[in-house]
Amino acid sequence: MKDSALREQLRSEPAEPSLPQRVHRLEEIRREAAHTGRVEGVGVRLAGAPIPVASVETGYYGLPLLKEPQWSWEIPVYFFVGGAAGAAAVIAEFAQMSGAQTELVRDARTVAAVGALLSPALLVSDLGVPSRFLNMLRVFKVQSPMSVGVYIVSAFGPPSVLAMIANRLRGRMPGMMLKMIESSAGLFSALCGLGMATYTGVLIGATAIPVWNKNIDSLPIHFALSGLAAGTAAIQLMGHEESRALNLLGLVASAGESLIGVKLEKAPSPANAPLKKGTSGLITRAGGLLTGPLPLALRIAAAFAGERRSKQIIRMAAASSLAGSLLTRVGWVRAGHRSAQQSNTAASREF
Amino acid sequence: MGTSFGRGGATTAQQDLANSDAILIMGSSMAENHPVGFQWVIEARKRGATIIHVDPRFTRTSAMADIWVPMRSGSDVAFLGGLIHYVLEQGKEFREYVVHYTNAATILRDDVKLPDDLAGIFSGWDEENKKYSPETWLYKDEDPKPDAIKPGHATAGGGHGKDRGGEAGDATKHETDPTLQHPNCVFNVLKRHFARYTPEFVEDVCGVPKEQFLKVAEVFSNASGPEKTAAICYAVGWTQHSNGVQIIRAAAILQLLLGNIGRPGGGILALRGHASIQGSTDIPTLYDILPGYLPMPFWESDAHTLDEYVKRHRSNSGWWSNFEKYIVSLLKAWYGSAATKDNEFGFRWLPRVTGDHSESGYWLDMQDGKMEGLFVMGQNPAVGAANGRLQRTALSKLKWLVVRDFVETETASFWHDSQEIENGELKTEDIATEIFFFPAASHVEKEGSFTNTQRLIQYHEKAIEPPEDCRSETWFLYHLGRRLKEKAKAEPIARNAGLNALTWDYPTEGPIREPVVDAIVSEINGYKTASGELVREYTELEADGSTACGCWIYSGVHPKPGHNLANQRKPKDYLGHGWGFCWPSDRRILYNRASARPDGKPWSERKKLVWWDESKRQWTGQDVPDFGKETPPDYRPDRKAEGIKRIAGDQPFIMHPDGVGWLWVSSGLKDGPLPTHYEPLEAVVENRLYPQRASNPPAEKKQRPDNPYGYSLDKRFPYILTTYRLTEHHTAGGMSRSLPHLSELQPELFCEISPEMANEIGIRHGEYATIMSPRGIIEARAMITSRMRPLKVQGRWVHEVGLPYHWGRRGLAKGDTVNDLLAISEEPNVRIMETKALVCDIRPGRRPRGKAALDELNAKMRQTA
Amino acid sequence: MSATTAFLTDSTLCIGCKACEVACKEWNNLGDDGLAWTGFSYDNTAELGHSTWRHVKFVEHPPEIGHGGNSPEVSSWTFSSDVCKHCEEAGCLEACPTGSIVRTEFGGVYVQPDICNGCSYCVVACPFGVVQRNKEDGRAFKCTFCYDRQKAGLTPACAHACPTESIKFGEIEQLRAEAERRLAKLKESGMNDAVLYDPKETSVRGTHAFFLTRGDPRQYNLPLKPEVPTIYTKQGWKSAAIGAGVLAAATMLAFIAGDNR
Amino acid sequence: MIKELLANWPLLKQIKTGTDGTGPEAMSEQTRSLKPKFADAQVARSVCPYCGVGCGQLAFHKDGKLISIEGDPESPISRGHLCPKGANSFELVTHPGRELKVKYRRPRSRQWESLDLETAMDMVAERLWKSREQTFVESKDGRPVMQTKAIGHLGGATLDNEENYLIKKLFTAGLGMVCISNQARI
């Protein structure tokens, strides 16, 4: 067994009991031994040497039943980027339809396109054998969220970029053609964007990791809103603090995130512990706070503040949502690790 | 076993265990150390047999057994004696078998005395020389051998010789009482001797609760008789005791009483720890015997001419009447044409044994600087032998050392990384020993044969050439011999006569000039000196020099050119005839004449093996009869009959002059005709039976400053120490500790202690504990487990520390060397050391490093007991 | 189509010798797992992983004098050789986006080393914690069911080595029947704590490697209710649709409501 | 070229066969042509070198290289089974820790030196001869002794019978060495 794994295992041993406790227990054991000639192993646990045991209560020496996720940092970051880009694509499309300011549309398209380019890059660099990324396209498996996701990502890229280019060119050379290209590409990009913002929730939800699959019903919505918040925030920070539409969106997103936060906090399932305890708990909660209540409050405050003031507050809210969205993704992945570590057969009823 | 039945080898085959109705495994953790052989125990279990494991620890074998009974290490004879007592008491013996096939009815001399009469010793004890004269043990009316020293009683003897097969003179005149009424017939003497081994006694000495012991006794004895048979498996858990041979004797007596020898599903199976440990005794790399258990000539006691030598070792009746044929054929094989009748076939060229030249014997000489050179081939005494500290320092006294192995063993590396270098006892630049390390060829890089634990000779073919400098021992010895013979040729003086005469013209083949192994096999099998034609069997051997044979018991393994029976691969039956070659004469179950009633019919349909076919007028069955094929059951020799003719048709133990199994051994054992309970050399309790005689009287402690012992009942060392092996490693680790796949399974030395003990000394699971004996100090990870348990012995709780001994300072899986704790000692008959029951002390925490470790040990020794 | 094969690992016959573990590593050229001493009875490899495809578990309970491990009354020291379960509904197989993991003609679940790109989605999809990515190598590994040997009609290395034939290999239905017979026999001998582990009632729908153990399977880290993750996907996509809807609707409304001039 | 590529594209096969990408359609060429590693190797019948049980082994080799070692199903003793040590025989022969070269350490030296095999043999013969010369005892009280106690041998239980035979023959019958011992006792 690997030392690291062992250390991890030993860390979870109970604290040593007090000396009097031990001495007392020693006498007990001596008597028991003298009487029956035998002592249960647990007697020694009290003597200060926790003998790891295999039992219904502890599972096999308290070792985890499941393997931890083996994704590197790129994956949570991708969840964040992909989510934001997906939302941005949607925003861009509706913005254009509703004939909003060209700058807003342009910047939205930019965010979508940049995200669309960044996403595959992050995915590839996470692979153990990056050169084999194309193997992802050997087959298409509806039953595998990752397979579906891969096709979404691949489909999301080209139209998003195309839409952006078309958009930029439109500034210089007027023409019906370009407009049509942009709107159709944009539409397609937006449709994929909806997938981008949501499928990652299914991806981690449909796994053996308890903390993930126990929240399968809320995860995609959670991620969608998180993406919306991040996307909106990103665009706003490009100088659209005054866009009422975006402010409304921000409001909706942070409100939704707050609701989900409350739901998660109230959920009794022991499987949710990693979302509340330990580092993973800290991060997810921080993420929740920064995308939910905090920006919500700020945006409301902004509505009553003076123009210059409100602009600053909006910027703060946006920054908070961005950071929050990123933390949320990191937190959830970390929670997955913890959940796996704690997954011995007796850890919870799920098994 | 030699003394009891006539041959030292296991009496049965592993596959035959499947036919047992009960199997007693004692002194062995078979499932752990012989897992593949253990499948036959499982097979028996599937067929309804009861598996009994008696062991101080609950091992992986216990985990497979139906009954597990713990027993204090070192009380084996007490336990077995208890079983014998039970059988005699309850009249559970197999009467007809006992009367006809054992010497139960034989009447002993009136002046023989038992330990109960003499406070712990048999008659004939010589207190000052610490040895027995077996005179009084002989059968009544049997004339003792004229010689001053009885065969097998030479002080120098290692006891591997045929003497163990007993040559109580010519047991032809003694009286018997088939009614077993005579007070001095063996049967009644046995009853008297074991009278004190009651269940209460067993409980008191072994720590086995009475009712548990009775459960074992009942199950085992009920599984014996005409319709049923029970087997016993043992390993070094029995042999490595100061009374090892007598433990096995006790088992032999039990099996003879229950009629379990020579019958399917019966027998005693000795489980050997190495691929060819049986082979290396048959064709011995031992000092006291020649191939085929012919004794080496002993200078002190033995003949100096071939005639005397033969006279002394040949017996007029029984198989050993052929003695002369075998020794002469051996001499012819070795000295070839130079060996003639006039020069006694070169008998004078053979070296004489002048003392104890066993490993422990000469190692002490080495330590005292009396030796110059040493060859070590495929063994690692620096880790594997008792008192490692002495083992290693002794090596530093050599002028030169040759080590042949797969890896640089601790034996080869003692001069730069041993414990003694660490603690400053030895300094590399002071060690004048010149060391040659030769890499060895593996079993697939050379051809040759191993003899397994059931006397089965199996050949392994060569798959590939050995890499680089790796060579087989065959290559090494042949080419070394070639060089030496050249030197001898140059100076043809008396000293070199033997070497000059030695036949050494083996053909070689291949790029590395590997000797043709087939030529060696042929020589071992034997051939007619005139024609060079191979002999078909040892019955063709002659005493006139017309035949040569390297090892008579192996004769028949290569009956004609191109027919190496050791390489047969077509098994015909469950006993494996057609697969390999089983000495002698491919007999798979020894003494199998006993599987039939005296009248030649099987004891029962269920347990038939070999029987007399009246129509064909010969013995027939599933095995090769271990008996005169045409000797009818009703054959009765006349008074004058000689040799094998002297054995009656209902006497299955043909190696014995009286043709029966020996409950009582009148000659051949140095520590008594019967086993009796003695405590180990180092014990934590006194000897309940004979307070005046703690341990086996003739056992040698070899006590000296560098091989110290504790006092009796030493307070400084209150715990029993027992050592053993694990499935995942091989003996001293040379073939396992450097292999990743095995090392990861048992990466570090650990000690097994009971929860009670852990609490007594405050040791915590997984932490280090330091263990000390009068010889050494080591550390080990503590494995606290209720598989170890204290036992109530003589009214107090006795704790035991279990230590697997594989580890050393090299390889992937490292650990302290457990054998540093053991003492060099010698069981009187075979000079084995005691490893299974010694004393130690244990404390929490790691041992100090460097010199400090020695200091702690010395401080411990300075404490007053 | 060749017959579907399976493993029956009978821990009442297992002597804990670990031959299966070694034989597997020898045949598949797997490295060691590190040399740490765990103190978990005699088990120092602790779990299945990318370099350990067979693993013997040691479960200890205090023995009683007079009772060996085969005693029906007292279960003292039991060994059980763990392996990939080759589930009827295999999480890793369904999850693999490259098609590297396939179901062989023998019903085994096989990772094609030349296809796997190390996305490690299978790792989180396995309800038994079997498959694992080798960080150095980058790809995921697990028991191959000796697909190479089976193709040649040979027994898998572990079953071939097992000294006491506690690992049985054969046609799945025959083995299931044999397992039932064996179980009945044990019960009849009074060994009432003997159980057959083959989670047929769960979404995994049974395994191609079933286990006869003594006592609650959970002490061997055998989950009572393993679930194949695909049971969550439907619900997942449903809420994904909702999420997408919310996203689209919110955006649309925002821009309608939002005054953008 | 492209055509081939498309022909082998599992996705198209999937569509054609309407399968879900978990079966043969997803198998690579390598997988389809998978063979056990000892396919078309030669085999030597062998015996396990570890304990005394004497399990049969099959040693597969090809072009002078060892491919694998496994149990021999025909052995009436082992029926093809091996214990962990026996199962590890291939590693025993091939592991990197194995010494392949002669090593020599001069008196008082701090390190090993390399030495040519033949030279080493000559040197050992020299040492042996010299020690024997100086310590050989021909007779005592006019009776033959013909021995040297100054040179010992240890080992044999892991060696072949033929090797033990040569040891006993050369060392005892030829050179008069009596200090000969091995692991075997009873």
Alpha-carbon distance B498 to B491, whole Å?
12
pLDDT value at B259 more than 70: yes
To test the contact with chain B by mutation, choose from C70, C78, C167, C188 the residue with the greatest count of B C-beta atoms within 10 A, namely C70
Residue B158: which pLDDT band, with cuts at 50, 70 and 90? low
Q: Amino acid identity, residue D49? A: P
Pairing of strands B768-772, B750-753: unpaired
Number of A/B CB contacts below 8 angstroms equals 57
Residue D19 sits at the chain A interface (C-beta within 8 Å): no
Q: Is B149 left (phi over 0), alpha (psi -120 to 50) or beta?
A: beta
The 10s digit of each residue's pLDDT in A117-158 is: 999 999 999 999 999 999 999 999 999 999 999 999 999 999
Q: Write down which chains contact chain B via at least 3 CB pairs under 8 A.
A: A, C, D
Q: Give me the residues paired with residue B548 across strands.
A: B527
How high is the pLDDT of residue D7? 81
For the purposes of burial, counting CB atoms within 10 Å of the CB of A208, is it exposed (0-12), middle (13-18) or buried (19 or more)?
buried
Task: Tell me the range of B143-147, B153-157, B633-637 where mean pLDDT is highest.
Answer: B633-637
Classify residue D74 as exposed, middle or buried by CB count within 10 Å of its CB (0-12, 13-18, 19+): middle
Q: Helices H, strands E: what count in chain D? A: 7, 8
- Percent of chain B predicted with pLDDT > 90: 84
Residue among B358, B828, B825, B158 at smallest CA distance from D149: B358
Highest mean pLDDT among A177-191, B145-159, B428-442, D3-17: B428-442
CA closest to A136 among chain D residues: D11
Fold of the CATH domain A72-208: Formate dehydrogenase/DMSO reductase fold (1.20.1630)
pLDDT tens profile A225-238: 999 999 999 999 99
C-beta separation of C203 from A143 below 8 A: no
ipTM: 0.93
Q: Give the C-alpha distances (Å, rounded to integers) separating A261 from A161, A264, A285, A295, B76.
A: 34, 5, 8, 13, 71
Q: Which of B188, B167, B171 is nearest to B179 (CA)?
A: B188
Determine the Cα–Cα distance for residues C27 and D88; give it in Å rounded to an integer. 10
| Substitution target from C255, C256, C259 for chain A, most A beta carbons within 10 A | C255
Asked if residue B378 lies in contact with residue D159, where contact means CB atoms within 8 angstroms, the answer is yes
Which pLDDT value is given to residue B766?
A: 87
Mean pLDDT of B47-65: 97
Residue A27 has pLDDT above 80, yes or no: no
The one-character DSSP state at C193 is T
Pairing relationship of beta strands B777-784 and B750-753 according to DSSP bridges: parallel
Chain B: residue nearest C20 by CA? B741
Considering CB atoms only, which of D124, D125, D172 is closest to B351?
Answer: D172
Q: Does D18 touch chain B (CB under 8 A)?
A: no
pLDDT band at B163 (very low <50, low <70, confident <90, very high): very low
Alpha-carbon gap, residue B694 to B392, rounded angstroms? 31
Report domain extents, chain A: 3-52, 72-208, 209-351
Question: In A, which residues are within 8 Å of B781 by CB distance?
Answer: none
pLDDT in tens, B530-584: 999 999 999 999 999 999 999 999 999 999 999 999 999 999 999 999 999 998 9
Q: In this structure, are residues B641 and B652 in contact, taking their beta carbons and an 8 Å threshold?
A: no
Does residue A7 have a pLDDT over 90? no
Range B92-119 average pLDDT: 95
CA atoms within 13 A on the CB side of A220: 29
**Domains of chain D: residue spans and CATH:** 2-32 (no CATH), 42-94 (2.20.25.90), 136-186 (no CATH)
B176 HSE (CA, 13 A, CB side): 16
SS3 A141: coil
For residue D10, list chain A residues with Cβ-Cβ distance below 8 A.
Answer: 138-139
**What local confidence, expressed as pLDDT, does residue C238 receive?**
97
pLDDT of residue B157: 56
Hey, are the CB atoms on A201 and C255 less than 8 Å from each other? no
d(CA A256, nearest CA chain C) in Å: 10
Is the Cβ–Cβ distance between B353 and B288 less than 8 Å?
A: yes
The letter for the amino acid at B158 is G
Cross-chain Cβ contact C96/A94 below 8 Å: no
Cβ distance of C65 and B746 shorter than 8 Å? no
Name the residue among C96, C216, C242 with its Cβ closest to that of A221: C242
Whole-number Cα distances in Å, B305 to A323, B338, B341, B349, B545: 102, 17, 12, 11, 16
Please, are residues B494 and D137 in contact by the beta-carbon 8 Å criterion? Answer: no
The pLDDT of residue B865: 55
- Smallest Cβ–Cβ distance between B58 and the set C33, C44, C77 belongs to C77
Q: In the CATH scheme, what architecture does the domain B1-131+169-273+583-670 have? A: 3-Layer(aba) Sandwich (3.40)
DSSP assigned state of D173? I
> What does the pLDDT look like over A57-109, one tens digit per residue?
888 988 999 999 999 999 999 999 999 999 999 999 999 998 878 899 999 99
CA torsion angle for A152, A153, A155, A161 (degrees, to 10)? 140
The whole-number pLDDT of residue B837 equals 87
Place A53 in a pLDDT band, splitting at 50, 70 and 90.
confident
Q: Distance between CA atoms of A83 and B91, rounded to whole angstroms?
A: 89
Listed in order, strand segments (DSSP E) in B199-251 are 230-234
Rg of chain A in Å (alpha carbons): 26
Residue with tokens 């180990």: B680
CA distance C246 to chain D (A): 31
Q: Cβ distance D152 to D181 under 8 Å?
A: yes
**A touches which chains (3+ CB pairs under 8 A)?**
B, C, D
Q: Report d(CA B213, CA B778) in Å as an integer.
A: 36
Cα-based distances in Å from A137 to A74, B648, C98, D10, D13? 20, 87, 7, 9, 13
Distance of alpha carbon A153 from alpha carbon A193, whole angstroms: 9
Question: C81 - beta bridge partners?
Answer: C56
Of A30, A43, A48, the CB nearest to B764: A48
When scoring A60, A129, A213 by the number of chain C Cβ atoms within 10 A, the one with the most, hence best to mutate, is A60
Give the nearest partner residue to B63 out of C31, C33, C77, using CB atoms. C77
Residues 6 or more apart whose Cβ sits within 8 Å of residue C190: C72, C73
Cα–Cα distance, D15 to B698 (Å, whole number): 88
Cβ partners under 8 Å of residue B547, min gap 6:
B325, B329, B332, B526, B527, B528, B529, B535, B540, B541
- Mutation pick from A139, A147, A148 vs chain D, by most beta carbons of D within 10 Å, is A139
Smallest CA-to-CA distance from C243 within A228, A58, B125, B454 is with A228
Instruction: State the pLDDT confidence band at C259, using cuts at 50, 70 and 90.
Output: low
Touching D: A residues 130-169, CB under 8 Å: 137-143, 147
Q: Does D128 touch chain B (CB under 8 A)?
A: yes
B719-862: CATH topology = Barwin-like endoglucanases (2.40.40)
D65 bridge partner residues: D62
Query: pLDDT at residue B162 above 50?
Result: no
Asked whether the beta carbons of residue B36 and residue C163 sit closer than 8 angstroms, the reply is yes
For D78-116, where are the alpha helices, taking DSSP H only? 84-87, 89-94
Q: How remote is the C-alpha of B58 from its chain's centroid?
A: 24
Burial A92-105 (b: 16+ CB within 10 A, else e): bbbbbbbebeeebb
DSSP H/E element including A260: helix A244-266
